[in-house]
Amino acid sequence: MARAPEAKHRGVFERPRGSGDWWIRYADEHGHIHREKAGAKNLALRLYTRRKAEVQERRFFPERVRRRDVLLADFIRDYLARIQGTLRSYVDLERHGRVWQAALGDRPLRQVVAGDVQRHVAKRLTEVRPASVNREIAFLKRAYNVAIERGEHPPA
């Protein structure tokens, strides 16, 4: 027995066809078209209905949708590349960056919490002098402030 063709859903499409990657397309309250990759078809259908409801209830903010999670290691690399040549203490900052990349670099900026930093600080205090740990913390604070200024991490 042959299967009936699947019903087409408005605003949900597969790109490229046959790939299993489903996308949604919708317009916000100003008529601007937005596209998002959703994954499986059932997830795309749910996401489409959620986005349409957000637009209708005026709770849709495109700046929240487009955010990508930046890994701490990637951000530190980018931050160091930006400040290279501007500071005499760049070698020290590079060392501090390597410490944080090794400790928490595989996590997105948004997922690093105070407890993670405190655990790392407690461990580092057994390895090096407190002044070194304080400088490493100062480096991380500055990097996070730059991330907040650039809009890559929301302020707490």
Predicted local confidence at residue 4, as pLDDT: 57
Q: Is the pLDDT of residue 156 over 90?
A: no
Q: Is the pLDDT of residue 46 over 80?
A: yes
Q: What are phi and psi of 104, to 5 degrees?
A: -130, 10
Per-residue pLDDT band for 85 (boundaries 50, 70, 90) equals: confident
| Tokens, residue 90 | 């760049």
- What number of other Cβ atoms are within 10 A of residue 141's Cβ? 11
pTM of the model: 0.60
List, by residue range, all CATH 1.10.150 domains of the chain: 72-149
Query: How many Å apart are CA 52 and CA 58, to the nearest integer?
Result: 10
CATH no., domain 72-149: 1.10.150
Print the SS3 string covering 3-51. Answer: CCCCCCCCCEEECCCCCCCEEEEEECCCCCEEEEEEECHHHHHHHHHHH
pLDDT in tens, 49-72: 888 888 888 877 665 555 567 888
pLDDT in tens, 90-131: 999 999 999 999 999 888 888 888 999 999 999 999 999 999
